[in-house]
């Protein structure tokens, strides 16, 4: 649905009234003063902050969102997960939509059943109940193989025989190797120039390889693309910023990029909510959607939660787990207070539908 000028939202404001940022930004309306600006609170001895200002729940008149929370069972959930899950839950519930749960368990070395069980337990404890069955990526490998086959048929994949160590060494030799938007070094394209004969020979010899997306050829196939983020507005897709990403390896039948695009489409997700650290990944995701002929959702990249030093909470950083806090007697209500979240009805919650 597209909202035209003068149409009204659930808050009562029209598209011409409901704007805080001027005509160059999507119209936004905030409710009472729960604008999660930069602030600190304590959580069992740790200080917690929202790394960015004001999130709001995007409610579009007549639109029921289908959202999802998709953690990896490689550790216990922490406060950052609680924020992300609550955000997706509210966007679905307040719009009369559906909130789905997916476990991204494609890494057999790091994913463990006890972590998967704990995720379900923690969400129930928080009162965030999902709709339908839990989807597990490890049970959907056939879907990813089909997507890879389609991309291969389009001629936009190539085998890469470089090990991770070789890629690092090649980048170090280059000195001025290109870097991605987050400062990460991107693949220099070493195997892209191999002849078809050389590729076949090395595959026949049994050399391990990964499938990489040839971004330049893919863009030649799709033409210019764009995507819509509720906070950022219309964004020109620039997947070349991330280089020729890996879509599958021998030890990983689908990368995050491929699996998330295939699964969001298969589950009917219409609003992808996730942390702003994944904002630039959307460039690649939009390209894959176009190549695979998949429906295009809208995105909302929300605040990250971090410690007092500004470092975002992550399992690898030893973030305090919800399981630990619960064992210490912390209540779900206290979790929401720590994160600056009040009752759903008190939160900023209005936005415009993007014009197509």
90's tokens: 């509210």
Confidence (pLDDT) at 25: 29
Instruction: List phi, psi (to 5°) of 179.
Output: -125, 150
129-136 — which CB contacts under 8 Å span 24+ positions? 129/99, 130/69, 130/99, 130/100, 130/101, 131/92, 131/98, 131/99, 131/100, 132/98, 132/100, 134/101, 134/102, 134/103, 135/100, 135/101, 135/102, 135/103, 135/263, 135/267, 136/102, 136/103, 136/105
The active-site residue, picked from 165, 238, 250, 315, is 315
Q: How far apart are CA 229 and CA 240, in angstroms?
A: 19
Give residue-wise pLDDT tens across range 197-213. 999 999 999 999 999 99
Task: State the pairing for strand pair 98-103/210-213.
Answer: unpaired
Mean pLDDT score across all residues of the chain: 82
Q: Is 315 a catalytic residue?
A: yes
Give residue-wise pLDDT tens across range 21-61. 222 223 222 222 223 333 333 444 444 444 455 789 999 98
Flag whether pLDDT at 118 surpasses 90.
yes
CA distances 324 to 76, 184, 223, 327, Å, are: 9, 33, 49, 5
Confidence of residue 6 (pLDDT cuts 50, 70, 90): very low
Residue with tokens 């070349």: 240
Give residue-wise pLDDT tens across range 271-328. 999 999 999 999 999 999 999 999 999 999 998 887 666 666 666 555 588 999 999 9
Q: Give me the DSSP letters along 295-339.
A: ---EEEEE--EEETTSPBP-GGGTPPBHHHHHHTT--HHHHHHHT
Confidence of residue 351 (pLDDT cuts 50, 70, 90): low
Region 94-103: mean pLDDT is: 97
Return the minimum-mean-pLDDT range out of 39-43, 78-82, 110-114: 39-43
Q: What's the whole-model pTM score?
A: 0.82
Radius of gyration of the chain (CA): 21
Confidence of residue 171 (pLDDT cuts 50, 70, 90): confident
Q: How far apart are CA 267 and CA 100, in angstroms?
A: 8
Give residue-wise pLDDT tens across range 254-274. 999 999 999 999 999 999 999
Confidence (pLDDT) at 91: 96
Q: How far apart are CA 285 and CA 117, in angstroms?
A: 29
Q: Give me the DSSP letters along 49-66.
A: EESSS-------TT---E
Flag whether pLDDT at 8 surpasses 80.
no
Q: Which residues of 16-55 are buried (b: 16+ CB within 10 A; e: fewer)?
A: eebbeeeeeebbbbbeeebebeeeeeebeeeebbbbeeeb
Q: How far apart are CA 71 and CA 171, in angstroms?
A: 31
CA distances 247 to 158, 185, 250, Å, are: 10, 17, 11
Flag whether pLDDT at 173 surpasses 70.
yes
Confidence (pLDDT) at 200: 95
Higher pLDDT, 346 or 88: 88
Domains and CATH numbers, the chain: 140-302 (3.40.50.620)
């Amino acid at each position: 649905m597209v909202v035209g000028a003068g149409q009204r939202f659930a808050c009562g404001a029209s598209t011409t009234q409901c704007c805080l940022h001027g005509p160059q930004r999507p119209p936004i309306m905030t409710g009472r003063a729960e604008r999660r600006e930069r602030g600190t609170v304590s959580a069992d001895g740790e200080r917690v902050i929202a790394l960015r200002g004001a999130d709001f729940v995007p409610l579009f008149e007549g639109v029921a969102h289908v959202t999802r929370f998709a953690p990896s069972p490689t550790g216990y959930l922490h406060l950052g997960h609680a924020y992300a899950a609550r955000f997706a839950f509210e966007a679905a519930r307040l719009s009369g939509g559906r909130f789905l749960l997916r476990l991204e368990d494609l890494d057999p070395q790091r994913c463990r059943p006890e972590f998967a069980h704990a995720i379900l337990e923690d969400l129930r404890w928080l009162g965030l109940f999902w709709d339908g069955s839990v989807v597990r990526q490890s049970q959907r490998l056939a879907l990813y193989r089909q997507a890879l086959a389609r991309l291969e048929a389009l001629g936009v994949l190539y085998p890469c025989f470089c090990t991770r160590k070789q890629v690092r060494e090649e980048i170090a030799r280059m000195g001025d190797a290109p870097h991605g938007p987050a400062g990460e070094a991107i693949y220099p394209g070493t195997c892209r120039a191999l002849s078809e004969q050389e590729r076949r020979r090395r595959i026949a010899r049994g050399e391990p390889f990964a499938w990489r997306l040839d971004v330049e050829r893919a863009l030649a196939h799709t033409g210019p693309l764009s995507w819509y983020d509720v906070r950022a507005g219309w964004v020109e897709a620039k997947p070349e910023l991330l280089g020729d990403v890996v879509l599958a390896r021998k030890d990983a039948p689908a990368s995050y990029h491929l699996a998330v695009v295939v699964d969001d489409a298969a589950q009917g997700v219409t609003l992808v909510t996730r942390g702003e650290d994944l904002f630039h990944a959307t460039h690649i995701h939009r390209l894959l959607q176009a190549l695979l002929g998949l429906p295009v959702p809208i995105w909302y990249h929300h605040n990250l939660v971090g410690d007092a030093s500004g470092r975002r909470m992550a399992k690898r950083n030893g973030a305090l787990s919800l399981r630990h806090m619960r064992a210490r007697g912390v209540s779900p209500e206290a979790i929401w207070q720590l994160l600056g979240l009040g009752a759903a009805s008190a939160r900023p919650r209005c936005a415009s539908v993007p014009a197509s």
